[in-house]
DNA sequence: ACTAGGGCCTGCG
DNA sequence: CGCAGGCCCTAGT
């Protein structure tokens, strides 16, 4: 009997990407045939590109074509906190991570919730720290809005791409006041 | 304000 | 496998 499907990537997949200048710094936006599969921020073009290639080292990588550019433009709009129809997403992660990330998509702009509340929302109220871990591993920020999750005491907590970006996103969405200091 | 410990998913060895 | 560590939270000084 032959193995039908591997749960990771059955075959080397074809990815397209480009790097754009945004209000949050450089953003690398990558997509597969399925949809957007990675968004990465950075301040150096070459570093971003090599990090991307290292992370998908068994993929066939090229630059965006017309449809890829169309997806990217929607991602860019979301990065700038504009309201647009979200692009199709190719969400890759463990079962648990996907549960967390899908729940994140249900948090409207302008609001925040705590890691605790997010945990109970996916029926895993004891897995608070694991939920935070899944947020930290979110490959599609800020389209998957993990920046809307903050600590129960109101502190911003952390952000994979730096707290300044999390803060900027929340300020623009009107979720938090401009920081007094 | 600070510290300790519970809980549990992940990545790496 | 086993283990350390994390974008946490609560309770107890």
A146 is a catalytic site residue: yes
Q: Does at least one atom of strand B sit less than 7 Å from the CB of A152?
A: no
Give the pLDDT confidence score for residue A56 in this predicted structure: 95
Pair type for strands A113-114 and A149-150: parallel
Tokens 């079962």 appear where? A95
Token reading at A17: 């990407």
Give the pLDDT confidence score for residue A90 in this predicted structure: 98
Q: Does at least one atom of strand B sit less than 7 Å from the CB of A129?
A: yes
Q: Is A133 left (phi over 0), alpha (psi -120 to 50) or beta?
A: alpha
Per-residue pLDDT of chain A (181 residues; tens, 9 = 90+): 343 344 444 567 899 999 999 999 999 999 999 999 999 999 999 999 999 999 999 999 999 999 999 999 999 999 999 999 999 999 999 999 999 999 999 999 999 999 999 999 999 999 999 999 999 999 999 999 999 999 999 999 999 999 999 999 999 999 998 755 4
**Torsion A110-A93-A37-A102 (CA) sign:** negative
On strand C, nucleotides with any atom < 7 Å from a protein CB are: 5-10
Q: What is the pTM of this model?
A: 0.92
- The separation, in Å, between residue A140 CA and nucleotide C9 C1' comes to 26
Distance from C-alpha of A156 to C-alpha of A27, rounded to nearest angstrom: 22
Distance from C-alpha of A145 to C-alpha of A9, rounded to nearest angstrom: 25
Give the pLDDT confidence score for residue A11 in this predicted structure: 62
pLDDT in tens, A162-175: 999 999 999 999 99
Pair type for strands A36-42 and A25-31: antiparallel
Which nucleotide is nearest to A126 if distance is taken from CA to C1'? B7
Q: How many CB atoms sit inside 10 A of residue A109's CB? A: 16
Q: Does at least one atom of strand B sit less than 7 Å from the CB of A124?
A: yes
Q: Does at least one atom of strand B sit less than 7 Å from the CB of A134?
A: yes
């Amino acid at each position: 009997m032959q193995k039908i499907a591997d749960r990771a990537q059955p075959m080397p997949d074809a990815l397209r990407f480009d790097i754009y200048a945004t209000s949050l710094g450089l953003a690398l936006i990558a997509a597969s045939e399925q949809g957007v599969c990675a968004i990465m921020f950075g301040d150096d073009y070459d570093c971003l590109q090599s990090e991307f290639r290292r992370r998908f080292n068994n993929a066939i990588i090229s630059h965006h074509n017309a449809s890829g550019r169309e997806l990217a433009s929607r991602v860019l709009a979301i990065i700038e906190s504009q309201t647009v129809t979200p692009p199709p997403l190719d969400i890759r992660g463990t079962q648990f991570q996907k549960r967390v990330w899908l729940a994140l998509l249900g948090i409207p702009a302008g609001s925040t919730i705590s890691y605790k509340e997010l945990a109970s929302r996916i029926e895993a109220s004891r897995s608070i720290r694991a939920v935070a871990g899944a947020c930290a591993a979110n490959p599609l920020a800020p389209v998957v809005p993990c920046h809307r999750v903050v600590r129960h005491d109101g502190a911003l907590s952390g952000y994979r791409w730096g707290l300044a970006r999390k803060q900027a996103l929340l300020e623009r969405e009107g979720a938090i006041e401009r920081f007094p200091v």
